[in-house]
Chain A
Amino acid sequence: MTEVQTERAISVVVNGVPREATVPVRWLLSDALRHGFGLTGTHVGCEHGVCGACTVLVDGQPTRSCLVLAVQVDGRQVTTVEGLSRSDHQGGQVLHPIQEAFRECHALQCGFCTPGFLTTIAAGLDARDPSVEITEEEVDEMVGGNLCRCTGYANIKKACRHAAATMRDEAAR
């Protein structure tokens, strides 16, 4: 019969790097990322799915890392905020357009919620046709599941539009 375990070895590809760890089964994915793999870019806010700060991408899909057990991502691909930047093919890294836009538009103040916004919006922008003008509804949907207590959201939404415009220009080139 299927064994009931309290600890299990998992292998996960995190930001393109295969990682292995033995984790208590009660560890959340956020625990494994921060304590198991030392990737503290994923911030844990409410730890019950409300604030969105801990959002990461599991097989490319935005997912609350506090609402998934670490054992459940065995064999999957996880992207954290540390993995949003891309190689510039000259030995360096370039930020994702939404990361650039956050800097450009002053879309963060204390920065605690930022990793969750960046992963969620990056996945949303990457999934859409960049040649089509982004709508307010799309922007609201992308930011609506994340809480920010500093900015009032105006600059975060501005950054979404800014990044969408950048991606449209890049696609047109």
Chain B
Amino acid sequence: MKPAPFGYADPTSVDEALDVLTAEGEGAKVLAGGQSLLPLLSMRLAAPTTLVDINRVPGLDQISAGRDGVRVGALVRHAELLASAEAAGVQPLLGRATANVAHPAIRNRGTTVGSIAHADPSGEMTAVLALTDGSVTVATPGGRETIGWGDFFLGPLETSVHGPAVVLDAFFPALPERSGTAFAEIARRKGDYAVCGAGVVVTLDADRRVSSARAAYLSVGLVPAVHDLTDAVVGQPVDSADWTAAGELARGLVDPDGDLHASADYRRLLVATLTARTLADAGAEALARMETA
């Protein structure tokens, strides 16, 4: 349970980090919070030749919440995002999902952007990036580019970014008007990897009828995906909408794998149950926000 030998560098700028990554080649890996990477190293599931620690790069620890959305820098810890009332005010899913990320000791160290770059389909923030239609900013020796979530996640633990690159930030668009969100997950122990989790956004029309219902799931499928469940509830008054039907629709849309902790059928059942439950909460929140707006 010890990492294999590696070289270590802790550059103090993004350009320096890219220089080291370029010089060290394929075996180099960026280290931010390390709460997913170090277990992989200790279990020898990964053996990078060089770790490029970005913790000393200034300016990457900022949360900026504006009207359009929330930009989260690469060194923002989960605990900091969880504590940000400004971020939650613009996009409530951030606080809700972050509260479900691991345990406090892990949240103190692990970074939100790191867990996105890690691209684990059981991660909370990968699902939230998808559900909010977010994007990441990636620095490469060729410059900086913005990559939408759909082009970023390729497979479990795999992104479209290859070669020397540092993910600088993630951008989560703001919650639209007349909308509410909810997030829930089932884990064997609170804070452990979810057996199944669901994040949802419900949007109402001016007559308080459902105009959109969308969901993203954790530990269901190989990459984050957003499922549009609007057809099951469209036009229904929010306080009597048939959320169970939306859950049943979701159950048919997902294609989870079974593993030691849960069979595929059990995961589908959880998808249906969590969908109905979270949609009801999100609908109620959308209504409450309309009434206070």
**Binding site secondary structure of chain A:** mixed
Shortest beta-carbon distance, B39 to chain A, in Å? 4
Interface residues as binary, A32-76 with B (CB distance below 8 Å gives 1, 0 otherwise):
000000000000001111101001001001111011110110000
Contact assessment for B109 and A67 in the assembled complex, using a CB-CB cutoff below 8 Å: yes
Question: Contacts A67-B109, A141-B104 given: A4-B43 contact, CB under 8 Å?
Answer: no
For the complex, is A5 an interface residue (Cβ under 8 Å from B)? yes
Interface residues as binary, B15-58 with A (CB distance below 8 Å gives 1, 0 otherwise):
01101100110000001001100110011000000110101000
A127 to B38, CA, bound (A): 28
Q: Taking CB as reference atom, which chain A residue is nearest B35?
A: A67
Contact assessment for B109 and A64 in the assembled complex, using a CB-CB cutoff below 8 Å: yes
Contact assessment for B105 and A6 in the assembled complex, using a CB-CB cutoff below 8 Å: no
Inside 8 A of B4's CB, which chain A residues have their CB?
26
Contact assessment for B104 and A68 in the assembled complex, using a CB-CB cutoff below 8 Å: no
Query: What is the interface residue range for chain A against chain B?
Result: 35 or more
For the complex, is A160 an interface residue (Cβ under 8 Å from B)? no
Contact assessment for A69 and B189 in the assembled complex, using a CB-CB cutoff below 8 Å: no
Contact assessment for A2 and B10 in the assembled complex, using a CB-CB cutoff below 8 Å: yes
Interface residues as binary, B247-286 with A (CB distance below 8 Å gives 1, 0 otherwise):
0000000000000000000000000000000000000000
Contact assessment for A62 and B108 in the assembled complex, using a CB-CB cutoff below 8 Å: yes
Question: Contacts A2-B20, A5-B7, A71-B8 given: A28-B104 contact, CB under 8 Å?
Answer: no
A-B interface contact total, Cβ < 8 Å? 115
Partner of B1, one of A25, A48, A63: A48
Partner of A66, one of B20, B38, B103: B38
A126 to B233, CA, bound (A): 48
Partner of A4, one of B7, B109, B189: B7
Question: Contacts A3-B9, A67-B39 given: A61-B1 contact, CB under 8 Å?
Answer: no
For the complex, is B190 an interface residue (Cβ under 8 Å from A)? yes
List CB contacts (< 8 Å) of A98-132 with chain B. 120, 124
Partner of A6, one of B7, B53, B104: B7
Shortest beta-carbon distance, A108 to chain B, in Å? 19
For the complex, is B106 an interface residue (Cβ under 8 Å from A)? yes
Contact assessment for A145 and B2 in the assembled complex, using a CB-CB cutoff below 8 Å: no
Inside 8 A of B108's CB, which chain A residues have their CB?
58, 61-63
Inside 8 A of B12's CB, which chain A residues have their CB?
2
For the complex, is B102 an interface residue (Cβ under 8 Å from A)? yes
Contact assessment for A64 and B106 in the assembled complex, using a CB-CB cutoff below 8 Å: yes
Inside 8 A of B20's CB, which chain A residues have their CB?
1-2, 4
Given contacts A2-B19, A28-B42, A69-B38, 8 further A-B contacts (CB under 8 A): A2-B11, A2-B20, A4-B20, A5-B8, A25-B51, A49-B106, A62-B105, A124-B104
Q: Which residues of A contact B (CB under 8 A)?
A: 1-6, 8, 24-26, 28, 31, 46-50, 52, 55, 58, 61-64, 66-69, 71-72, 120, 124, 140-142, 144-146
Q: Which residues of B contact A (CB under 8 A)?
A: 1-12, 16-17, 19-20, 23-24, 31, 34-35, 38-39, 42-43, 50-51, 53, 55, 79, 102-106, 108-109, 189-192
Query: Please, could you name 12 A-B residue pairs with CB atoms under 8 Å apart, sorted by A?
Result: A1-B23, A2-B10, A2-B17, A5-B8, A63-B109, A66-B42, A67-B34, A67-B38, A69-B38, A72-B53, A124-B104, A142-B104
